[in-house]
Amino acid sequence: MSHSSNRQERILVMAHAHPDFSLGGGEIAAYNLFKAYRDSEQIEEAWYLGRADRGRGPSGHINLRRPNEYLWEQAVHDWHLMKAAHQDSLTTWFADLIRALKPTVVHTHHYAHLGLEYLRVIKQVDPSIRIVMTLHEYMAICSNNGQMIKTGSFKLCSRESYDDCRQCFPQKTAEDFWLRKHYFQSHFELVDQFVSPSEFLRQRYIAWGLKPEQIVVIENGQSDEPALEPRPLAEGETRNRFGFFGQINPFKGLHVVLEALSQMPKAERKKIVLEVHGANLEQQAPEFQEKVKALAEPLIKQGVVVWAGAYQPHELRTRMAGVDWVVVPSIWWENSPMVIQEAFVCGRPLLVSDIGGMREKVRDGIDGLHVSAGNVLAWQRTLLEAPRSFGELSAGIQKPKSHQKIASAHLSSNFVEAQQ
């Protein structure tokens, strides 16, 4: 799509965190996009505003972190209606920042920890500013942390329903959920263009009420690096080394793979090694921590599981170089897990749950394998059978688009469309 205007854009990228303090996929995607905008000749100027938690409560202050990068000490006090804790800073320091920077576009990547109200403030300061919002999860649809999973049972929801929502949150009425939806939608009406990294998430939001033409699919970009060589094999070794990368929580499904390994006959189990490159287990509920440790400890003693611990983003390639496969056993829908694209950059095929964005991003039998979500027997079978198809599946991997190409896709799609 060609540009309809020769004016250069001034883009403020906003996110619910800054990668200096938090390493979730959403903030890393937002920050990398900011850097690609900053380096683009089509952009006059770009800035990043990330929410910061300095452990002293939301002061509302906005501080310069480094040139063109700001931190906002904001939080949410009402998660049901996503209302900001520090209201005064919205119409003072935040509004002043928008006036001072004079962005033509605010490309926001979240409202968690920030509240929804800032969308209204942007339009009050200057109605001509276009707001583009990348949706990374289902928080507007689902009050259960945007997981679209029933509380307690871990059963998946495919859409919102006031009655079902009430069963998850019996202290709320159907009217509370009706009001919540309309409160979110009244703020979303201020957004000029929505972006979804997956068609799956796009369809969930269309079913919820967004117009199909309002939301385009643009994947998160990746670093422009060559694929890694396959792991060197010792004599008689097979492609049997699997890696789990990312957060360890009940939704990410590591316990499903540990269960699959635990229940295998010992002779079969010895054919497999699972490396766990995971973080934040200590932040989970005690019973979940105990469950994971009880499953992992005997497997670690047997040499079947290697507990490699957390990693920094710059260490990821080195760690992926030591495995043949990447596993994504999540038991919730996911949108577009960053680790899938990262594995493809490194040239590693994947084993993923056959639901949501995982099913969409990994092509079964071409660049990875689908496994029935949460199904211990299916994971056992796939872990044992996968090694022989490594050559074929690694050859089927297509390199993901770079941050620069994704920035160009945004410039030619979202911002121009919104101007016309």
pLDDT tens sequence across 391-401: 999 999 999 99
Give the alpha-carbon dihedral of 179, 181, 185, 186, to 10 degrees. 10
Pair 84, 74: CB distance under 8 Å: yes
pLDDT digits (tens, 9 = 90+) for 60-106: 999 999 999 999 999 999 999 999 999 999 999 999 999 999 999 99
CA distance 94 to 34: 19
The per-residue pLDDT for 414 is: 57
Q: Give the residue among 204, 218, 17 at the shortest CA–CA distance from 132.
A: 218
**Within 10 A of 163 (CB to CB), how many other CB atoms are there?**
8
* Domain range annotation of the chain: 9-221+402-419, 241-395
CA distance 156 to 171: 21
pLDDT digits (tens, 9 = 90+) for 233-278: 999 999 999 999 998 999 999 999 999 999 999 999 999 999 999 9
Residue 4 has pLDDT above 80, yes or no: no
CA distance 266 to 196: 44
pLDDT digits (tens, 9 = 90+) for 38-53: 999 889 999 999 999 8
Residue 416 has pLDDT above 50, yes or no: no
How far CA 54 is from CA of 18, 191, 348, in Å, comes to 12, 29, 37
**Long-range contacts: 382-386, Cβ < 8 Å, 24+?**
382/351, 383/242, 383/257, 383/260, 383/261, 383/272, 383/351, 384/264, 384/268, 384/271, 384/272, 386/239, 386/242, 386/325, 386/351
Most trustworthy range by pLDDT among 55-69, 159-173, 288-302: 288-302
The per-residue pLDDT for 418 is: 39
pLDDT digits (tens, 9 = 90+) for 298-314: 999 999 999 999 998 88
Helices (H), 102-253: 117-125, 162-168, 174-188, 199-208
pLDDT digits (tens, 9 = 90+) for 15-39: 999 998 887 788 989 999 999 999 9
The per-residue pLDDT for 147 is: 87
CA distance 135 to 142: 13
CATH 2.40.50.100 fits 241-395, yes or no: no
Quick one: which H or E segment has residue 328?
strand 325-328
Mean of pLDDT values over 135-157: 89
Contacts of residue 388, defined as CB under 8 A and 6 or more positions apart, other chains included, come to 238, 239
Q: Which of 137-141, 147-151, 183-187, 341-345 has the lowest mean pLDDT?
A: 147-151
Residues 385-400: b if buried by 16+ CB within 10 A, e if exposed = ebbeebeebbeebeeb
Q: Give the residue among 312, 314, 306, 323 at the shortest CA–CA distance from 394.
A: 323
Q: Are the folds of 9-221+402-419 and 241-395 the same?
A: yes
Residue 207 has pLDDT above 60, yes or no: yes
Pair 201, 335: CB distance under 8 Å: yes
Helices (H), 226-367: 254-262, 266-269, 286-301, 316-320, 338-346, 356-361
Mean of pLDDT values over 160-189: 93
Pair 419, 5: CB distance under 8 Å: yes
Using the Cα atoms of residue 206, residue 211, residue 212 and residue 218 in order, give the sign of their dihedral.
negative
Residue 124 has pLDDT above 60, yes or no: yes
Backbone angles phi, psi at 364, to 5 degrees: -60, 125
How far CA 314 is from CA of 333, 342, 395, in Å, comes to 27, 12, 25
pLDDT digits (tens, 9 = 90+) for 344-364: 999 999 999 999 999 999 999
Most trustworthy range by pLDDT among 5-9, 154-158, 380-384: 380-384
Report DSSP state, residue 161.
-
The per-residue pLDDT for 74 is: 96
The per-residue pLDDT for 313 is: 84
Using the Cα atoms of residue 338, residue 339, residue 341 and residue 346 in order, give the sign of their dihedral.
positive
CA distance 142 to 140: 6
Mean of pLDDT values over 409-416: 72
Residue 216 bridge partners (DSSP) = 195
Pair 408, 221: CB distance under 8 Å: no
The per-residue pLDDT for 145 is: 86
Pair 185, 209: CB distance under 8 Å: yes
Tokens 């079978």 sit on residue: 381
Pair 376, 259: CB distance under 8 Å: yes
- What is the third-level CATH fold of 9-221+402-419? Rossmann fold (3.40.50)
User: What does the mean pLDDT of the chain come to?
Assistant: 93
